[in-house]
Amino acid sequence: MGIDLDLKDLARYPFLQESQTFARDRTGSIDTFLESQVGKIVLPHAAARVRAALFPDQVDQDESEPLSEVSIFSYAVARVLVSCTKDRMMADRLARYEAARAAAALQDEDPAIRAYVAQSLGIDLDARTIPVTTYVELVARLRDDRWRLVNRQVREGAVTVGTTEVGELLRERIRVVVGRDLPLNVPTSLCDALKPYIDELTAALREKTLEEFGEVDETSFPPCIAALINAVTAGTNLSHMGRFALTAFLHNIGLTTTQIAEVFQRAPDFDLSITMYQVEHISGRSGTEYTAPSCATMRTYGLCVHKNALCETMSHPLSYYRRKKWQQENKKKE
Ligand code: SF4
């Protein structure tokens, strides 16, 4: 289906092939572009875009970016900025923000454009069934139980979906497309040139994590994480998954690489260079997955141990931690 997209459409849906081509044809190499007059205008907009991804509630709709060339370019530069932070958490937040933004625009969109955007991403808005393989790929990161294949009606190799669910799947698809390839492999020289912006965004991410989880409180750690720390302290060799779960959890609640290394330092056979390498790898510097595993995954790997009453209502160690901290803080106030 051919359709004419104007500049505003390209700015609203900057992940489309047409928008990418538009940006590529006008910017050329990214370093040269960032040194150009337009590049200097775009850069603060791109940083603001990443900040908005971290603090979406603080975005004033009246001040949101105008739909123009700058907006198309700032999408591309924002991806460069988050890549230079080398933090998957930042990249993931940008992807979620862009997906939410585009999904909101699509709600009031001209039906033909809406259908075109969806189709460009491999989704047919009118379809009430999706081939199983496509469905499984689409819901891979959706945690809600209702998306699990066992809870769906599957007939002749296709999964039945509702009208509103197709919208949700489209949003998820946008998130995957925006997040795909992030972090990009940006040359160190370019990241160095962008350092003031990178430092500011890294600080903003820490602020966001602090806002979400508050100061680190080891007494609120879930039993599984406490057990992993005890094992490290006792000098027990953690399995790869155990090391990953512990590092990712600590990274997710806001510990820096150095602070995480300090936890591993409790091990009698501690080796700083190996630990720093592993921690940086898991924290996302090499583009690996960073989110701490869910309770279901912990169970699969035999890492769900010493479950307590609070565990019964939790599906993720991070939710446990958030709830337990909240309980502890409330107790102190009483
Ligand atoms: S239920 Fe979840 S939070 Fe509790 S110990 Fe098991 S994995 Fe950890």
Q: Which of 179, 178, 136 is nearest to 154 (CA)?
A: 136
Contact 270, 302 (CB under 8 A): no
Q: In this predicted model, which residue has the larger pLDDT, 234 or 118? A: 118
Q: Is 298 in the pocket of ligand 1 (CB under 6 A)?
A: yes
Q: How many helices (H) and strands (E) does the chain have?
A: 17, 3
The pTM assigned to this predicted structure is 0.76
Q: Is 194 in the pocket of ligand 1 (CB under 6 A)?
A: no
The reported pLDDT for the residue numbered 287 is: 45
Question: For 65-79, 99-113, 258-272, 290-304, which range has the lowest pLDDT when averaged over its residues?
Answer: 258-272
| Token representation of residue 76 | 């591309």
Tell me which of 307, 310, 318 to substitute to probe ligand 1's pocket, judged by most ligand atoms within 8 Å of the beta carbon: 307
Residue 315 CA, ligand 1 centroid: distance in Å:
7
Residue 84 among known ligand-binding residues: no
- pLDDT, one tens digit per residue, over 74-96 is 999 999 999 998 887 788 889 99
- From CA 278, how far away is CA 256, in angstroms rounded? 13
Residue 191 among known ligand-binding residues: no
Nearest-CA residue for ligand 1 atom 1 is: 311
Q: Is 223 in the pocket of ligand 1 (CB under 6 A)?
A: yes
pLDDT range class, residue 14, cuts 50, 70, 90 = very high
Q: Which of 36, 44, 39, 84 is nearest to 188 (CA)?
A: 84
pLDDT of 303 above 90:
yes
The reported pLDDT for the residue numbered 330 is: 85
**Average pLDDT over all residues of the chain:** 87
Residues 6 or more apart from 294 whose CB is under 8 A from it?
143, 315, 316, 317
The reported pLDDT for the residue numbered 283 is: 63
Q: Where are the beta strands (DSSP E) in 23-149?
A: 129-131
- pLDDT, one tens digit per residue, over 230-254 is 998 888 888 888 988 998 899 889 8
The reported pLDDT for the residue numbered 67 is: 65
The reported pLDDT for the residue numbered 280 is: 73
Contact 213, 321 (CB under 8 A): yes
The reported pLDDT for the residue numbered 48 is: 93
Q: What is the mean pLDDT of residues 104-118?
A: 93
pLDDT range class, residue 65, cuts 50, 70, 90 = low
Q: Where are the beta strands (DSSP E) in 44-106?
A: none
Q: Is 222 in the pocket of ligand 1 (CB under 6 A)?
A: yes
pLDDT of 37 above 80:
yes
Q: What is the mean pLDDT of residues 30-36?
A: 90
pLDDT of 41 above 80:
yes
- At position 262, the amino acid (one-letter code) is E
